[in-house]
Structure 1
């Protein structure tokens, strides 16, 4: 499980910014405004960030953004790179898949921008466009 001080930085791609519409699989209706924060697999492994496929899965954290747009929103670690994998590949809104997309819109995020994710406790993170 992550601890205070753990951090990583990701570079945003089109699929992160336009998750609801820019899809390689069309298993559901296209929805504008969705977005997610990717979790590199080596990092998910080293920090033990599991998805629901793991018996201790379903990692949920409180997220705030350094700019104040997001305040204690619930994100969950979800997705996997291949069927049955226990390591999460992304943070997404817990029940609201548009929450990250709303933040991307508010900060005018574009492909190539970087986001830093920092744990301030095992269950609280701060995200920041850098």
Structure 2
């Protein structure tokens, strides 16, 4: 589990910016406005970032989150994995709402190559900073 002061930085790619429409699978209909922040496998392992397999709830796979620019605030969830049964999460999105980051991404003009710092300011809170 991440602690206050833990962080990583990530560069957004097309799949993170357009998750609902830029997909490798056809497992569901295309939906515009869905976004997520990736969690690289090495960072997930280093920081102990887990999906629901290791437990659910605030401080486990859900965190209070806000952006340093003051535009985003909400509950986020760690989800996904790299292989079946893997407990290390690979995505951060608003809990229950894959469109939750949409207005923030648009307002900050995020595009391929935008860098984001994901920092834990406590064991239950994340601060997102656009670099």
Tell me, yes or no, whether TM beats 0.5.
yes
1:36 maps to 36
Q: Secondary structure at the match of 1:42?
A: helix
Asked if structure 2 preserves the Cα contact closer than 8 Å seen for 1:64 and 1:70, the reply is: yes
User: What TM-score comes out, normalization by structure 1 length?
Assistant: 0.93
Taking the aligned partners of 2:129 and 2:113, their CA distance within structure 1 comes to 14
Q: Report the number of matched residues.
A: 128
CA deviation after TM superposition for structure 1 residue 104, in Å: 1.1
Taking the aligned partners of 1:25 and 1:93, their CA distance within structure 2 comes to 22
1:81 maps to 82
Equivalent residue runs for 1:1-130 within 5 Å = 1-54=1-54, 56-57=55-56, 59-71=61-73, 73-130=74-131
For each residue in 1:47-106, what CA deviation from the matched residue of structure 2 results, as whole angstroms up to 9, or x when unmatched?
Answer: 11111233x3561001100111112x0100000111111100010110111112322111
The root-mean-square deviation of aligned C-alpha atoms, in Å, is 1.1
Give runs of ≥4 in structure 1 deviating > 4 Å.
none
Q: Which ranges in structure 2 are unaligned for 5 or more consecutive residues? A: none
CA deviation after TM superposition for structure 1 residue 43, in Å: 1.1
Taking the aligned partners of 2:106 and 2:29, their CA distance within structure 1 comes to 21
CA deviation after TM superposition for structure 1 residue 128, in Å: 1.1
Asked if structure 2 preserves the Cα contact closer than 8 Å seen for 1:36 and 1:101, the reply is: no
